[in-house]
Amino acid sequence: MDTEFADVIGHDVTTITCVCGNTVSKEGLIQANSQGVPVYAEVGTPVPAGLAPWPEDEDLYTLCPSCGRVYHDTVIEETGTAPVAFQIDVAEGPIAEAIRVHWELGT
């Protein structure tokens, strides 16, 4: 299968238009770790159940909570393109729960 690309403007991960059409201003995009698990952005407070801690190496990914496609922030920042790194199941299971926790926290 050919690699899919999201639209992105000026190497800025927050400008992604996902392959599915989702953007930050529609359903939102979530910062995630290398497994696609949403990360908890607050440092120095306990990580809520279901979320992943902020990666120590700052190697972040961007998860589309609408379709489960995940993009690698480093690739976007370095190349100005946004190939789909991988896709995960966001409809059920631990990722769905993590997304719910993420939105509840409003971060």
Tell me which of 67, 76, 82, 95 binds Zn ion, using CB under 5 A: 67
CB-wise, 53 or 83, nearer to Zn ion? 83
DSSP assignment of 8-35, as one string?
EETTEEEEEE-TTS--TTTT--EEE-TT
Q: Is 64 in the site for Zn ion (CB under 5 A)?
A: yes
Q: How far is the CB of 71 from Zn ion (least distance, A)?
A: 9
Q: How far is it, in rounded angstroms, from Cα 75 to Cα 82?
A: 7
Task: Please report how close the Cβ of residue 99 comes to Zn ion at its closest, in angstroms.
Answer: 12
Decide if 32 contacts 62 (C-beta within 8 A).
yes
Contact residue for Zn ion among 66, 81, 87, 107 (CB under 5 A): 66
Binding-site residue total for Zn ion (CB under 5 A)? Answer: 7
Choose which of 22, 31, 33, 62 interacts with Zn ion (CB under 5 A).
Answer: 22
CA 95/CA 98 separation, integer angstroms: 5
